[in-house]
Structure formats: structure tokens, C-alpha cells
Amino acid sequence: MITGLLFAGQYYVPHPASEQLLTSVTKWLQIIGGFALVLGVTSLFHQHAVKIRRKEAGWGYSLVLYAGMLGTIAVGFWANGKESVDGAMTAFGWVYSFMMVPLQGTMFAILAFFIASAAYRSFRARSREAAVLLIAAIIVMMGRVPLGEYLIPLSGDVSQWILNVLNASVRRAILIGVSLGAIALSFKIIFGVERSYLGGGKE
């Protein structure tokens, strides 16, 4: 509680001593952040080691995970964490560029197809509200692409208005609500009223 109140108060104190305190703590946060990475990896190793040892369903995938992780760590150390040296790609760089980048990109790219199938399935004017949503969606989809602005020139301006006025005001309202929730939660954590984040239960 003391630390929480101290750093809440720090925000209102411009003195260099207060800034120094903040700097020290954020350095510690960075150090702990680094350790958290190690913890995450260790936890993952442990989970899958148990799965392999017990030969649970899907343990083969755990072996693949192990091979992937250990292989990437090994090439990473060998290349000293560098993706390229003097313009030449290292093995680590190869793993990053030809495995991680395409795989992550693929997962994100699937969204485009899923949006289309979700839109086809659910953008139906079942009610007045759904019809309004549908019309707004069509206007913004048209207004955000050159072809749409070419076919319906007004769609660009209308979609800008929807984004800057309607959307901004509603998002602001949601932001205010969520921010109040975050402030309330912060106060409760500082004063020890909320302990569920520690895994603690009811009193």
C-alpha cells in the first residue's frame, strides 16, 4: 500500500528526486520483465515435458515444440542474436524470416477470409438496428477504399464523418467507462481490497 500510494503521489511531484525514484523503479521493472521471459519459457518447457513423459494425447506435438524451441535457441546463441551479419543472413535470421514471419502473417491473413464469411452469414437486416449497422458498414467499407470513393464520391466524406464524429464520441464514452474501471481497480489493489490477481480468494 505504501509503495502504491508513493508512486501514485509521485505523479504530482515534479521535483528531480521524485523523477529519480521513478527511474529507479522502472529500471527494476525492466529487470523483472526480463526475468518474466525466462519464467515463461521455463513454464512452457515444464508443461510439455510432463506431456511427453506421460505420453498424453498429442505428445508428438510437444516433441515438435521442444525441437523448435531448442533449435531456435541454439541458432540464436550461435548467431549471437543477430539476424544478419555484414548483410548476410544468419541461421537465426533464416528461422525468423522464413518461419516466424510467414507463419504469423498467415494467421493474421486468415482474418480477411473469416471477415467475409462472417459478414455473409450475419450482416442481415433482421431488425432496424441491424439495418442501421448494415448501412453504416457499407458506407464505411466503400469510403475507405479508392474504388468505393470513385463509385460513390460522397462515401469518403460520410465515412470520415462517421469515424470522426459518431465513432470518436462513442469510443470516448467507452474509454471513460473503462478508465473509471481501471482507476477503481488500481485503488482497490493499492489498498489491498482486491486480491484475485494474486490468486487469492474471498475473505
Partner 1 sequence: MTFAERMLKIDRRIIFLVIGLCTLLPLLYPVGLPIKISPEVRSVYDYMEALPERSVFLLSIDFDPASKPELHPQAIALLRHAFRKNLRVVSMTLWVSGTGMADQLLTQVAKEMGKENGKDYVFLGWSPGGTAVIINMGQDLYTAFPSDYGGRPTKGIPVLEGVHSLKDVNYAISLGAGNPGVEAWYVFGKDKYRFELGGGCTGVIAPGLYPLLRSGQINGLIGGLRGAAEYESLIGQKARAVAGMDAQSATHVAIIVLVIICNVFYFNLRRVPRQQGHGTS
Partner 2 sequence: MAPADLQVVDTPNDGGESLTVIWAPSSSDGPDARYQVLIGDAGATEPDALKVIAEFPANTRFVKEAKSAWWTRKAEKNWHQFVIRSGKGIELKDGTPYTVTVAMLKGEERVVGPLHQATPAPDWVNWNQFNNLILALSFGGLVFYTISHAKRNEIFLRRIPGLDAVDEAIGRSTELGKPILYLTGAHDMSDPSTIAAAVILGRVAKRAAAYETELMVPHRDPITMAVCQEITKQAYLEAGKPDLFKEDSNFFITADQFSYTAAVDGIMLRKKPAANFFMGAYFAESLLLTETGASTGAIQIAGTDSDHQLPFFVTTCDYTLIGEELYAASAYLSKEPIQLGTLRGQDIGKAVILSVIAIGTVMATIGVATGAQWPQLFLDFFRDLK
**What's the closest the beta carbon of residue 173 comes to partner 2, in angstroms?**
9
- Cβ atoms within 10 Å, residue 142: 19
**What's the closest the beta carbon of residue 186 comes to partner 1, in angstroms?**
13
Helix (H, G, I), strand (E, B) or coil at 88: strand
User: For 196, how many CA atoms within 13 A lie in the half-sphere containing its CB?
Assistant: 4
Under the criterion CB under 8 A, does residue 13 sit at the interface with partner 2? yes
Q: Which is nearer to partner 1, 52 or 89 (CB)?
A: 89
Under the criterion CB under 8 A, does residue 35 sit at the interface with partner 2? no
Out of 2, 35, 80, 108, the only residue in the binding site for partner 2 (CB under 8 A) is: 108
- Cβ atoms within 10 Å, residue 13: 13
Binding partner of residue 34 among partner 1, partner 2, none, CB cut-off 5 to 8 Å per kind: partner 1
CA distance 62 to 8: 44
Helix (H, G, I), strand (E, B) or coil at 90: coil
Under the criterion CB under 8 A, does residue 22 sit at the interface with partner 2? no
Under the criterion CB under 8 A, does residue 145 sit at the interface with partner 2? no
Under the criterion CB under 8 A, does residue 44 sit at the interface with partner 2? yes
Contact 93, 100 (CB under 8 A): no
Under the criterion CB under 8 A, does residue 25 sit at the interface with partner 2? no
